[in-house]
Amino acid sequence: MVRSSASEKTRGPKTEFLGRQPDSRVSHYASRCRALLFTGEEDFGMVPLEVNAAGRPVIAFRGGGAMETVIEGVTGIFLTNRPGPLWRMRLRSLRVACGTS
C-alpha cells in the first residue's frame, strides 16, 4: 500500500510505502482517496474492486483484469497508453469534473 500526502510547502508531496496492511486500514484509505491510479496489468487485481466497493473511481490501463472489473464511465476510466502526457491530461480533466482542481 502507498499513501501520499502533502507535507511542508517547501518539500512538496510525500509518498510513503506501507507494505501489506490489514483489511481495515485498506478500507480506511480506499474510502478516502479521490481515485485509484492502477497502472499495472494483472490477471486479476483485488485493489480496483476494493476501491470501487468504497465508492471511488479507478483509472486503469486498458488491459488485464481491470478489463473484467472496471465499467468504463461508471466505476472508472481506461487509458490505452502507458503513463505519460495523455494520462496527465485525463487526470486534469477528471479533477475538473470532480470539482477538485
The label of the residue with cell 518539500 reads: 11
Domain limits, the chain: 2-98
Q: How far apart are CA 101 and CA 53, in angstroms?
A: 25
Residue range 66-88, pLDDT digits in tens: 899 899 888 888 887 666 777 77
Residue range 7-60, pLDDT digits in tens: 444 455 667 778 888 999 989 989 988 888 888 787 787 889 999 999 999 988
Strand partners, 13: 6
Q: Specify the pTM.
A: 0.67
Q: How far apart are CA 30 and CA 2, in angstroms?
A: 11
Say yes or no to pLDDT of 6 above 50: no
Strand partners, 4: 15
Position 83 scores a pLDDT of: 62
User: What's the CATH architecture for 2-98?
Assistant: 3-Layer(aba) Sandwich (3.40)
Looking at residue 19, its amino acid is G
